[in-house]
Copies of this chain bind each other. A is one copy, B any other.
Amino acid sequence: MPRARVEGASDIDAQLASFLTRRLSGFDNRELRSAFGSFMTGVTIVTTTGVDGGPRGFTANSFTSVSLEPPLLMICIGKQAASMETFRRARGFAVNILSEAQKDTSVLFASKRHDKFEAASWRPGPFGNPLIEGSAAWFDCARYQVIDAGDHIILMGHIEAFSYSDANPLGYARGHYITLGLEQAAVNAASSASRTVVGAILENDNRLVLLPDPSRPSGLALPEVGRLGPSGSASQLHDLLQREGLDATLGFLFAVFENPGTREQCIYYRGEALLHARGRTVLADFEDIPWDRLPDEATRSMLRRYAAERKIGRFKVYSGDHRQGTVKAVD
């Protein structure tokens, strides 16, 4: 690991820097990724044309606009990425900023599938690079500069043409997507005349947090309020979690839907939980969820999706350095 370049520092400063640099060798990369993940980002698909003339592209969130005059932008690509060399040598590239309707496209281009461009709608841009249909904005760029930066390269592009729409942009923070449309659906659900259930999918040390369901013998349920009696609210959910010894920061919505069996409007947040007291909490491995003890098919279906996305999110699609810049660069 290279020494930090400390210029103009006094001897004492240099000693301090040396100490800190040594300390740095002990950095935990997972911790650094998590810290990087605190910065909210949009999601882009970066594309170019390979030497064979075929389209190439990957999902990335390491985009930054740089300059207006001249019009410049940049993205980071991991040196270990299969397509890095293609992008480094290409005469240009396009950056497609995804809208909240394009979550699936984001997942597609973060995958290793070879038929990405067959599965997506796209067309060549004015400067020749592939533009993904339905994006919130796109920039078709000529290569301007390539900068070596540790385990990544910075690819700076000179914008040759661009366009944008008023679609709500897709967001990403702490390893999860953010869609304002889902937030609005939650307001809608909560303001409907039907009863509202507000719940949480919480993880503690990679296990799912469940609570006993008093209405069914040996039944289990997600932490949730409003299933019996009047509608639940997020503040009631907070109170419940506190009573059960669970310390959780909620903020990211996972699902908003109407339970077809009960006609309840269901709003589920997700998050990590600390256990202050074990209390009545049951922790279940995701590979061994007690499906038959859960209240209904709607809950099972949502948890199956959560478990699947979680697996993809942590072990496949974002197995790279998703919190660190490039979500994943593949060919």
Contacts and interface: CB of A to CB of B under 8 A. Distances in A.
Interface string A131-167: 0000011010011110101111010101111111011
B232 A191 contact: yes
Given A32-B68, A66-B154, A137 B38 contact: yes
Contacts of A23: 160-161
Interface residues of A, number: 115
Contacts of A181: 251
- Copies of this chain held together in the complex: 2
Given A8-B91, A171-B178, A184 B2 contact: no
A186 to B, nearest CB: 5
Nearest to A172: B40
A136 B151 CA distance: 25
A150 B325 contact: no
A84 interface: no
Given A8-B91, A151-B69, A191 B231 contact: yes
Interface of A: 1-2, 4-9, 13, 16-17, 20-21, 23-24, 27, 29, 31-36, 38-42, 44, 62-74, 76, 89, 91-92, 97, 100, 126-127, 136-137, 139, 142-145, 147, 149-152, 154, 156, 158-164, 166-174, 178, 180-181, 183-193, 196, 198, 226, 230-235, 249-253, 267, 269, 272, 321, 323-325
